[in-house]
Structure 1
Amino acid sequence: MSWSIDPVNLEARDVRRTAVLYADTLGMAGSSWSFPARRDYLPGDPGKLALLGDGRDGHSGLHLIAADESFARRNGLEHNASIGGHVAFQVADLDAVIARLRRAGLCHSVTGEFAIPGLRHVYVEDPSGNQIEINGSL
């Protein structure tokens, strides 16, 4: 199965100050977010969400997000993608990954187009409690 890391999402206590550190100290450029048409859950406030893009598209790179305790409940998910940070993997066949998660009996949260235009997402925890996101095309 081919995969790539896309993106890395970090929880930030102060999104703006954290973004400034990455931009000013590490030289990463801030980017505009490309939102899907339905984005009820995503905070549009720059104090709650920042993207430091890698120039590949409107979502790749580093995401900084303020923790939102009610995120999972409001969106009908088992996993809260705004708390603790996570790495995302892009795969060619998301349905095959979902089938393997089900066969393994692992708790996971599946979304439709949710955070990134044209992609579906699955959230799951590894055995060490690290949250991961797996993305695939619609």
Structure 2
Amino acid sequence: MEIRLHHVNVNSYDVAKSVSFYKDIVGFDAGEHRPAFTDKDGAYIQESYWFGEKRRGLHLCMPNPDVTLRRRFSINPTVGGHAAFTVPDISALRKRLDAANIMYTDAGDWASIGLKQIYVMDPSGNVIEFHELI
């Protein structure tokens, strides 16, 4: 399996309004709405909407500045947006990041969507998600 772009996460302060823009004006097909919820650890997971088959495509996400505090993440994937890539072996990527002394957040399956996720900042400060399907 090769590394593939999975989605681009875009901040949305009004998810319904953003969905309307992307569907009605831009012409995206309908997607999947996920209301806000509290996960098994009691952390708040913000409202989001996913365009694209199998959640591959555009993700609209309400920013949640509390993620870093509540989840003890060093990198907040919900503020500022991010690109996400599917990788064949997340453990191998973690080993390479560790060997290069590059900080990352090992998020596990924090968003409860069947992915092992890590977040890293590239040399320009862009947040990038890498995940493996579980």
Q: Which bracket does the TM-score occupy, shorter chain normalised?
A: 0.7 to 0.9
Contact 2:11 2:61 in 1 (8 A): yes
Letter in 2 for 1:89: F
Question: Sequence identity of aligned pairs in percent?
Answer: 30
Offset of residue 34 of structure 1: 7.3
TM-score by length of 2: 0.85
Q: 2:125 is aligned with what amino acid?
A: G
Q: Is the 8 A contact 1:90 1:136 kept in 2?
A: yes
Q: Which runs of 5+ in 1 are unaligned?
A: none
Structure 2 residue aligned with 1:69: 65
Aligned 1:33-52 pairs, distance under 5 A: 33=33, 38=40, 40-43=43-46, 48-52=47-51
Change (3 A) 1:30 1:115: farther
Corresponding residue of 1:82: 78
Mapped pair 1:103 → 2:106:
no
2:65 alignment partner, SS class: coil
Aligned to 1:9: 9
C-alpha deviation, 1:86, in angstroms: 0.2
Secondary structure of the corresponding residue to residue 80 of structure 1: coil
Paired with 1:30 and 1:131, the residues of 2 have a C-alpha distance of 27
TM, length-normalised to structure 1: 0.83
| TM-aligned CA deviation for residue 12 of structure 1 | 1.5
Q: Post-superposition shift, 1:116?
A: 5.0
Count residues in correspondence. Answer: 130
Cα 1:88–1:116 shift into 2, 3 Å: farther
Calculate the aligned-residue CA RMSD, in Å.
2.2
> Any conservation in 2 of the 1:94–1:137 contact (CA below 8 Å)?
no
Contact 2:50/2:59 (8 A) holds in 1 = yes
Residues 1:92 and 2:95 aligned together: no
2:71 aligned partner, one-letter code? N
Contact 2:83 2:127 in 1 (8 A): yes
Residue type of the alignment partner of 1:74 = R
User: For 1:83 and 1:117, how far apart are their aligned partners in 2?
Assistant: 19
